[in-house]
């Protein structure tokens, strides 16, 4: 067990990271992600507050729809990356990173006064379990009263899981089909066990943090504290698709508009290590003799069977095919920018 | 097989050595492979290379981390386990069998006496458990 932002969490269960990873890619895996934070925003101007503090355009959401978004500082850098769920036009539900939940809530609350709405940190009211993989639907369906096939990707619904009221969202952090379910924490052990039992016919496995990390890396999903933080802007992080500069004013918009106009100096890329060796988090990245950055996340990719990672590179070196060096404990290994996501599931 | 077989000698760096005549076979312990998790690469020396005791002779990489490998005793490499190039997972599944790493011609057989017995190693592991 490791201490992850104050939560004791398993890095891996008994099967091991590679088997957990492959199980999610090919069958179904279960993640206890109860550490994630939840923040509710309610009131007549709930949408205005969400629009003010986030980069994506929440006005495009319908009831029951969710979107990935950035919570940004005036510099256009990240307070956090979050999921915004719309319950109703006066009721939004944000899922935020565990280690950032208090900071996020304080940030949002400090801006809530400008709007007729109220933000509350409801993290303690929810457990979250992620069921991920091609058999996620078949695993969860027998335990719920909602028709899961009718929930589209990045939509959600309210229903029951094993009789317990739950928010069921077709979202995830693995690059696979799957669901994230939010419910009363008192029921979490029972629901966890029920899901494991239900998934037995698919050889379901409980999966730890290490597999969660390799799965999200193959899908090129950012991890706060690695790819994104208060020093990286939404545009540098290659997340222009969640940065809707024309939606109206929001915190950080001016800086992001200016940065877009001036052109980026660096950008996040995905790379593959060409030489034999593994580039890990924080290893220095070189172009010639000049250190130009560092690896934000690097690991063997269990499904792709390659050594991959992400890094910030000077813009001129971000094209697919562009090569650079990574210092792996004193050895210079050749790496190459590759198309991302590294892994994309077949529909 | 016991998690820590009695016929092996152990180090506090979590290597084991099996001595047969003037040759020792070296690998990492069950504890070490469990801590590393899935092993994906093992870097080993070539036959003929000589090492002092407690010298770095290679490196083992898992999905989540890496670790240097140390010689339990001094000696000359007579063989490295080539099978680990294609099947590094043997380090996890058979740490004392197919997962062996090097065979050494012992430089000084008396060095073996300074290593830990199975029960001493288990006591050592126990003493390291703090929380």
Q: Name the band, by pLDDT with cuts 50, 70 and 90, for residue B129.
A: confident
Strand pairing class (B39-43; B56-62): antiparallel
Q: With a cut of 50, which residues of chain A have pLDDT below it?
A: 1
Contact A18 B63 (CB under 8 A): yes
Asked, for residue B43, whether it belongs to a domain, the answer is yes
Closest listed residue to residue A181, CA positions, set A205, A160, A200: A160
C-alpha–C-alpha distance, residues B92 and B79, integer Å: 20
> Residue B27: inside a domain, yes or no?
yes
Residues of A in contact with B92 (CB under 8 A): 16
Mean pLDDT over B70-77 rounds to: 97
C-alpha separations of B106 from A63, A282, A336, B26 in Å: 73, 39, 44, 11
Please give the pLDDT value at position A1.
Answer: 45
Q: What token pair was written down for B107?
A: 């430089």
Q: Which residues contact A249 (CB under 8 A, 6 or more apart)?
A: A52
The rounded distance, in Å, linking the Cα atoms of A181 and A160 is 10
CATH of residue B31:
2.40.50.100
In the structure encoding, which two tokens stand for residue B79, read together?
């063989």
Q: Which candidate, B9, B38, B27, places its Cα nearest to that of B96? A: B27
Domain presence at residue B4: no
Residue A4: predicted pLDDT: 53
- Name the A residues in 291-330 with CB < 8 Å from any B CB: 299-300, 302, 329
Digit-coded pLDDT (tens) for B40-49: 999 999 999 9
> Does any domain span residue B6?
no
Q: CB of A33 within 8 A of CB of A128?
A: yes
DSSP-assigned letter for residue A147: -
**B81 inside domain:** yes
| Nearest neighbour of B37 by CB, restricted to A17, A276, A278 | A17
**Residue contacts between A and B (CB atoms, under 8 Å):** 33
CA-nearest residue of chain B to A300? Answer: B63
A278 Cβ under 8 Å from any chain B Cβ: yes
* A197 sits in which H/E element: helix A188-198
Domains, in order of start, for chain A: 2-34+126-218 (3.30.1360.120), 37-124 (3.30.70.1400), 265-347 (2.40.30.110)
Q: To the nearest whole angstrom, how far is the Cα of A28 from the nearest Cα of chain B?
A: 20
Beta-bridge partners for A270: A310, A338
- Tell me which residue in B41, B61, B63 faces A214 most closely, judged by beta carbons: B63
Q: What is the pLDDT at residue A12? A: 80
Q: What is the domain range of residue B99?
A: 12-110+118-124
Interchain CB distance below 8 Å, B63 and A11:
no
Q: CA torsion angle for B51, B72, B30, A24 (degrees, to 10)?
A: -30
Establish if B129 belongs to a structural domain: no
More confident residue, A329 or B2: A329
Number of structural domains (chain B) is 1
Looking at residue A92, its pLDDT comes to 98
Contacts of A300 in chain B (CB under 8 A): 40, 61, 63
Q: At residue A117, what are phi and psi to the nearest 5 degrees?
A: -165, 170
Instruction: Identify all chain B residues contacting A210, using CB atoms and an 8 Å cutoff.
Output: 37, 63-64
Closest-approach residue (CA) in chain B for A328: B66
**pLDDT for the residue numbered B128:** 85
CB contact under 8 A, A18 and B66: no
B119 burial (CB, 10 Å; 0-12 / 13-18 / 19+) is exposed
In this structure, is residue B2 part of a structural domain? no
pLDDT digits (tens, 9 = 90+) for B9-36: 999 999 999 999 999 999 999 999 998 9
Question: Looking at this predicted complex, what is its ipTM?
Answer: 0.82
Q: What pLDDT does residue A6 have? A: 57
Residue B3 placed within a domain = no
B63 neighbourhood in chain A, CB within 8 Å: 17-18, 210, 214, 299-300, 302
User: How many angstroms away from the CA of B69 is the closest CA of chain A?
Assistant: 15
């Amino acid at each position: 067990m490791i201490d992850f932002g104050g939560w004791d969490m398993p890095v891996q269960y008994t099967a091991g990271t590679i088997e957990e990873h492959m199980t999610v890619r090919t069958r179904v895996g279960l993640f206890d992600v109860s550490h994630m934070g939840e923040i509710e925003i309610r009131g007549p101007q709930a949408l205005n507050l969400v629009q003010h503090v986030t980069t994506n355009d929440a006005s495009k959401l319908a009831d029951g729809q969710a979107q990935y978004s950035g919570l940004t500082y005036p510099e256009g850098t990240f307070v956090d990356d979050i999921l915004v769920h719309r319950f109703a036009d006066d009721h939004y539900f944000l899922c935020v990173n565990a280690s950032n939940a208090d900071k996020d809530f304080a940030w949002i609350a400090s801006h809530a006064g400008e709007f007729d709405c109220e933000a509350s940190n409801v993290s303690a009211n929810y457990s979250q379990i992620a069921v991920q993989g091609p058999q996620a639907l078949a695993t969860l369906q027998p335990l719920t009263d909602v028709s899961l096939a009718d929930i589209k990707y990045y939509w959600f619904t309210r229903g029951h899981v094993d009789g317990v009221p739950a928010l069921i969202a077709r979202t995830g952090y693995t690059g696979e089909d799957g669901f994230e379910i939010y419910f009363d924490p008192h029921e979490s052990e029972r629901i966890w066990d029920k899901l494991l039992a239900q998934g037995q016919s698919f050889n379901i496995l409980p999966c730890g943090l290490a597999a969660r990390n390799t799965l999200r890396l193959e899908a090129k999903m950012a991890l706060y504290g690695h790819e994104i933080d208060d020093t990286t802007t939404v545009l540098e992080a290659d997340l222009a698709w969640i940065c809707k500069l024309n939606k109206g004013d929001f915190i950080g918009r001016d800086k992001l508009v200016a940065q877009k106009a001036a052109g980026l100096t660096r950008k996040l890329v995905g790379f593959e290590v060409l030489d034999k060796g593994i580039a890990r988090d924080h290893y220095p990245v070189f172009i010639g003799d000049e250190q130009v950055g560092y690896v934000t996340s690097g690991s063997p990719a269990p499904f792709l069977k390659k050594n991959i990672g992400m890094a910030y590179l000077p813009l001129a070196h971000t094209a697919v095919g562009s090569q650079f060096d990574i210092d792996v404990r004193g050895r210079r290994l050749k790496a190459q920018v590759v198309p991302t996501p590294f892994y994309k599931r077949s529909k | 097989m016991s998690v820590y077989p009695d016929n092996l000698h152990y180090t506090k760096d979590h290597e084991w050595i099996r001595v047969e005549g003037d040759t020792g076979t070296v690998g990492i312990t069950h504890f070490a492979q469990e801590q590393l998790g899935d092993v994906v690469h093992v870097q080993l020396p070539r036959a003929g290379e000589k090492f002092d005791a407690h010298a770095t002779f290679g490196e083992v990489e898992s999905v989540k981390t890496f670790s240097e490998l140390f010689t339990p005793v001094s000696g000359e490499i007579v063989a490295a386990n080539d099978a680990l190039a294609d099947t590094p997972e043997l380090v996890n599944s058979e740490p004392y069998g197919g997962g062996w790493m090097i065979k050494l011609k012992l430089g000084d057989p008396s060095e073996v006496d300074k290593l830990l017995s199975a029960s001493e190693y288990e006591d050592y592991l126990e003493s390291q458990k703090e929380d």
